[in-house]
Amino acid sequence: MSRDNDRAKIIGRRALLLGGGKLALLSALAGRMYYLQVLEADKYATLADENRINLRLLPPPRGRILDRNGVPMAVNRQNYRALLVSEQIDDLDDTLDSLSNIIPIADHDRARIAREIKRHRSFVPVTVRENLSWEDVARIEINTPDLPGVMIDVGQSRSYPLEGLGAHLLGYVSAVSEADLQSSSDPLLELPGFRIGKAGIEKVYDLALRGKGGTSQVEVNAVGRTIRELKRDEGEPGVDLSLTIDLDLQQFAAQRLGSESAAVVVVDIHTGDVLVMASTPSFDPNAFNRGLSSDEWRDLITNPRSPLTNKAIAGQYPPGSTFKLMTALAALESGTITADQRVLCPGQMSLGNITFHCWKKGGHGSLDLIGGIKNSCDVYFYEIARRTGFERIAEMARRFGLGAPMGLDLPGERAGAIPNRSWKRATLGQPWLPGETLINAIGQGYVLATPLQLAVMCARVANGGFAVQPHLARDQIEGSHVMPRTAGDWPDLGVSRQSLALVRRGMFAVVNEPGGTAFGARIKDDAMTMSGKSGSAQVRRISMRERDTGVKKNEDLPWKERDHALFVAYAPESEPRYACCVTVEHGGGGSGVAAPICRDILMEVQKRFLQRGGGDAPQVRPVSTRPDAASRQPAVHHDDDGHGDHVHPDPILDDPEDGEDR
């Protein structure tokens, strides 16, 4: 019994010890609970949220691109896609078979779908096909009961409703490249499928058009499936961007150019608004979104009329006789000549042992400045250039915007070329030859200009010598910040109003006086009178033999060898507002081909803005406040007798020959 008592005592004591130990361990559990759930609670609460909350980036809708009147040029189109959710389908092949009865699915697509399904979790939708037509969508929707796991999703893709019209301005959007990613920290770029502007306006103003990405906080479970949305910040959609382009005019110009390989630029001479910038032939930028076949691509890049090039800014042409405006200004400004001094044109001029020909075989006889411009007499300009020297002419041309990119808000602008001694030495390593002064002074030789440069040159002549800058966006845009464009006071080019008035007087005579090279293309409505200067840029050399046997007419030459036809003009003469440059590649003569196009376009421009009146006219800078506003008008009016002894037989006046300056 005592033994039993002993044992009871021992077990009692030891049970107490054991129980105490257990209580201590349970207290340790309570302590651990306190540590985790009270002391460290915040840390674990944060970790828990990190676990379950995913931040998703919402791509903002890209801003549209509109013309100056709000007509959309680039929009976002609903892009319907067929998606497949693998966890909801029984058998992939069966589903794809029945789906392919509705929309064709290529074999390589099947392989890709199978691959993507394997790679993603079963609830992640996999794209079967994109860019479904509305009919396809409807047919799939009707058949959804038989197609479990197939669903339609709407995305956004860029669309250019005007197709070829303005394609060169708008550019295109495309996938983000590795280089883009490295140069920007915008997280939007990392979104799969995100597209950014890669050319044209889409590229220049990409930041503004892109907008700011929104975020969506979603609760996800352990395998990443979205359970619900907790918070949403929509971000900022891209800005709708208005261009200075007037689509109606753009369309008119493009139609007027027809099938020619040509470019038209119309600028407001005071504001620098580019109203028209057309380059033909064009291409459909939507084709790039759809994906081009290799045949289509080959056609585009081998086409001799280069549809992918924006000829208005990237086409460089010898300006031909349009450059004589610069030669005349340089001569006047340097005081080398006066307007009244006459030059006798016998049809050719000799310098050293070389003979330089005038485009008119028999010569023009005696001409003053106005007569020289009006007839585009080569010998007249040879002579005044010889006296002035090309350095001064080049300097004048630079002031008017030639020889350097204009700084237009569009990528791809070419500089053209204005040679001088140092240029020739630097690029060719040869000294300047006296004969080159003559050739370059009539816009041949090394001189190159883009249609945009010529339009701006004409605008600067017409606006009284102010360095107007062209631009395409109506607003001032820096990065993603958009503000109204301030009416800039363009710097004065420092050319006397008198010289400009004389040159303009000459340009008036070219179009509006009998005998002027573009008299046939005059605008008969007095309120819309156009003044301009034609140019024909020679593409091939004319041999002595040919000159003896008779120069071939352009129409007889293969297309590639014909002259480029150019015409620059401004209108209306009474109060100049618009400057235009028409360039037709291998079009033949400037006065015969380019001038009528320019006339039609400038008439359309004026009809639209000036005669209609109203608020949609481009804003006019208050030119009247300028101290020399009066001198803008062609103040120096030569009467018809001013041409003195120079009398033309009428039939020729009304229909001047196209080939003018050889």
Strand partners, 349: 356
Q: Which is nearer to another protein, 10 or 647 (CB)?
A: 10
Q: Rule CB under 8 A: is residue 542 a binding residue for another protein?
A: no
CB 221 within 8 A of CB 45: no
Residue showing tokens 């998703």 = 56
Q: Rule CB under 8 A: is residue 354 a binding residue for another protein?
A: no
Q: Rule CB under 8 A: is residue 6 a binding residue for another protein?
A: yes
The nearest distance, CB 271 to another protein, in angstroms, is: 60
Neighbouring C-beta atoms of residue 124, cutoff 10 Å: 15
Q: Rule CB under 8 A: is residue 37 a binding residue for another protein?
A: yes
Q: Rule CB under 8 A: is residue 20 a binding residue for another protein?
A: no
The tokens describing 524, both together, are 């008969």
The tokens describing 47, both together, are 């970790």
Transcribe 527-587 into DSSP letters.
GG--EEEEEEE--S---HHHHHH-PPPGGGS-GGGSPEEEEEEEE-SSS--EEEEEEETT-
The nearest distance, CB 25 to another protein, in angstroms, is: 5
Q: Rule CB under 8 A: is residue 3 a binding residue for another protein?
A: yes
Q: Rule CB under 8 A: is residue 14 a binding residue for another protein?
A: yes
Transcribe 117-175 into DSSP letters.
HHHS-TTS-EEEESS--HHHHHHHHHTGGGSTTEEEEEEEEEE-TTTTTTHHHH--EEE
Q: Is 650 helix (H, G, I), strand (E, B) or coil?
A: helix
Query: Does the annotation mark 321 as catalytic?
Result: yes
How buried is 526 (Cβ within 10 angstroms: 0-12 exposed, 13-18 middle, 19+ buried)? exposed
The nearest distance, CB 14 to another protein, in angstroms, is: 5
Q: Which is nearer to another protein, 32 or 540 (CB)?
A: 32
547-585 burial, b at 16+ Cβ within 10 Å, e below that, comes to eeeebeebeeeeeeebbbbbbbbbbbbeebbbbbbbbbb
How buried is 387 (Cβ within 10 angstroms: 0-12 exposed, 13-18 middle, 19+ buried)? middle
Q: Name the one range near another protein by CB under 8 A: 32-40, 126-134, 610-618, 642-650.
A: 32-40
The nearest distance, CB 20 to another protein, in angstroms, is: 11
Judged by CB under 8 A, the chain residues 145 through 184 that form the site for another protein are none
Binding mask 177-216 for another protein (x = CB under 8 A): ----------------------------------------
CB 269 within 8 A of CB 578: yes
Q: Rule CB under 8 A: is residue 18 a binding residue for another protein?
A: yes
Q: Rule CB under 8 A: is residue 55 a binding residue for another protein?
A: no
Q: Name the one range near another protein by CB under 8 A: 176-184, 217-225, 297-305, 396-404.
A: 217-225
Rounded to 5°, the CA angle 269-274-276 comes to 115
Q: Which is nearer to another protein, 49 or 93 (CB)?
A: 49
Query: Which of 221, 255, 293, 543 forms a contact with another protein (CB under 8 A)?
Result: 221
Q: Rule CB under 8 A: is residue 142 a binding residue for another protein?
A: no
Q: Rule CB under 8 A: is residue 38 a binding residue for another protein?
A: yes
Choice among 86, 157, 282, 321 that is catalytic = 321
Query: Which residues neighbour 170 within 8 Å (Cβ) at sequence distance 6 or greater?
Result: 65, 73, 74, 160, 200, 201, 202, 285
CB 283 within 8 A of CB 167: yes
Query: Which of 58, 114, 220, 635 forms a contact with another protein (CB under 8 A)?
Result: 220
Query: Which of 48, 111, 354, 433 forms a contact with another protein (CB under 8 A)?
Result: 48
Q: Which is nearer to another protein, 22 or 298 (CB)?
A: 22
Q: Rule CB under 8 A: is residue 620 a binding residue for another protein?
A: no
Q: Rule CB under 8 A: is residue 647 a binding residue for another protein?
A: no
Q: Tell me the residue type at 273.
A: D
Q: Rule CB under 8 A: is residue 115 a binding residue for another protein?
A: no
- The CA-based dihedral angle spanning residues 642, 643, 644, 649, taken in that order and rounded to the nearest 10 degrees: -140
Of 132, 156, 194, nearest to 77 by C-alpha is 156
Query: Which of 34, 361, 428, 433 forms a contact with another protein (CB under 8 A)?
Result: 34
The Cα-based distances of 151 to 128, 139, 141 in angstroms read 10, 12, 8
Q: Rule CB under 8 A: is residue 123 a binding residue for another protein?
A: no
Q: Which is nearer to another protein, 48 or 404 (CB)?
A: 48
Q: Rule CB under 8 A: is residue 230 a binding residue for another protein?
A: no
Q: How far apart are CA 246 and CA 608, in angstroms?
A: 10
Q: Rule CB under 8 A: is residue 25 a binding residue for another protein?
A: yes
Name the residues that contact another protein, by CB under 8 A: 3-4, 6-8, 10-12, 14-15, 17-19, 22-23, 25-26, 28-30, 32-34, 36-38, 40-41, 43-45, 47-48, 51-52, 219-223, 227
Q: Which residues are catalytic?
A: 321
